[in-house]
Amino acid sequence: MLFSSVTFLYWFFIVVIALYFIAPMPKGSTAIRNAVLLVTSLVFYAWGEPVYVLLMLAQCVSGWFFGLLIDKFRGKPTSKVFLVASLVVGFGGLMVFKYSDFFIGAINSVSGAGFDLWKLALPLGISFYTFQILSYTIDLYRGNAKLQRNLLTFSTYVVLFPPLIAGPIIRYTDIEKELKSRTHSVEQFSKGAFRFVIGLGKKVLIANVLGELAEICRNSSEQSVLFAWLYAVAYALHIYFDFSGYSDMAIGMGHIFGFKFLENFNYPYISKSITEFWRRWHISLSTWFRDYVYIPLGGNRVKPLRQVFNILVVWFLTGFWHGAGWNFILWGGYFGVLLLLEKFVFGNFLKKLPSVISHVYVMLIVIISWVFFDGYTLSASVATLSQMFGIGATSLAGNESLYYLRSYAVPLILGVIGCTPIVKFAAVKLRDRFVTFSVAAQPLITAGALILVTAYLVDGSFNPFIYFRF
């Protein structure tokens, strides 16, 4: 069930909100409301994954049980054994359901064997809830998190539906206090609803439209340079508004239910280095790998050669986390090498460049990366990149590419402006200048945007979500 669907907006979400706020909070206890969120989150998951909900519940129980054992044997070698066991179970699920066919295919290619692929369906959100469970057991072992003895409370943390399918990746320590006690107010509800609708608008009105353009370009027979660039730019904007829009919706729903989820995007397309880009893009994933892989490997506290190894390991895993394909591994390695070059070769030189030049450098690198990211085969990605730079292209521009450039000019311009802080800056200025008007205007803007999005959803059919692939 997509957040950007009429079923979710006008049935599921409304029912959940009603049940949640009807549920009492005796003496400030959130237990009953946690139960509402747990049950409705399981319904949300089972809506599309009726069988795999059992897998998610099994992972919840195993994470909770290993947590009990890690805490019970704290300070003893046995505690580490149970930590390792939790890692094996968590990553084991990922390996079986997400990567089994990749490894079988690799074995078949190398050895000539003819092992049958398992062709298992990818469980919804498994990459996200696995990392959430493991962050709990690791933090518990390190002494950075307190033991959660209540299985229902722990399960609520894991299966909470707003961040389940697309993040941000929530750590137990982020919402530990709010699972026990949280406050609600009209102001917080309004803030959450506004943030949710902003994310919904980004997803439906910009990401879907530009995703449609990227799909048209991808399937066109015209081999012009313009069409290749039109595809690459449209896809770069599409993936940003698609993913950040979902994060905005999750954060907004968190506010509604009394949770404060951390930001996941901070205008990454205004970055002036690849290092800065990855501090702004999918922040929860970048910090997860930093805290649970890079730093334990030694981080920056080791000799340069070991730093190189650590960075390459992190970026191999980052690419592989996104998908079981060589294009994702290449994509991760591509960024790993660039980050190494910035760190050890031309990072200082980059800082001295005019902002315009460094920004163009980042956008060129990132747009190229998305071509590999989107490509289902390496050969298709290489062909598109070649066409972008005139190799194999039949012309600079054709009638079809010029037609679609004109047709989608408005959403492209809105996308370019929207991925910068310009809109937010202008909104803050107007709010500060017209305080009374802005207070009254926010609910009107929320309602108006919701009506516009609904009209588009009822009339349109193109409503994919990229991160369902991962």
Which positions are catalytic? 322
Q: How far apart are CA 323 and CA 329, in angstroms?
A: 8
Given a contact cutoff of 8 angstroms between Cβ atoms, the answer to whether 269 and 233 are in contact is no
The tokens describing 36, both together, are 């509402």
Hey, what amino acid is at 93?
Answer: G
Angle (CA) 390 395 399, round 5° = 135
Given a contact cutoff of 8 angstroms between Cβ atoms, the answer to whether 253 and 274 are in contact is no
Given a contact cutoff of 8 angstroms between Cβ atoms, the answer to whether 251 and 195 are in contact is yes
Q: How far apart are CA 451 and CA 300, in angstroms?
A: 50
Nearest to 314 by CA among 298, 293, 296: 293
Residue 185: exposed, middle, or buried by beta-carbon count in 10 A (0-12, 13-18, 19+)? exposed
Q: How far apart are CA 329 and CA 79, in angstroms?
A: 33
Residue-wise DSSP of 226-294: HHHHHHHHHHHHHHHHHHHHHHHHHHHHHHHTT--PPP--S-GGG-SSHHHHHHHSSHHHHHHHIIIII
Neighbours of 153 (CB within 10 A): 18
Nearest to 280 by CA among 406, 420, 466: 420
The tokens describing 411, both together, are 């959403």
Q: How far apart are CA 200 and CA 343, in angstroms?
A: 37
Q: How far apart are CA 180 and CA 176, in angstroms?
A: 7
Residue 91 φ then ψ, to 5°: -70, -25
Nearest to 446 by CA among 136, 82, 280, 197: 197
The tokens describing 398, both together, are 């054709």
Q: Which residues pair with 224 in a beta bridge?
A: 395
Report the SS3 class of residue 393: coil
* CA 433 vs CA 51, 124, 425, 426, 429: distances in Å: 54, 45, 12, 11, 6
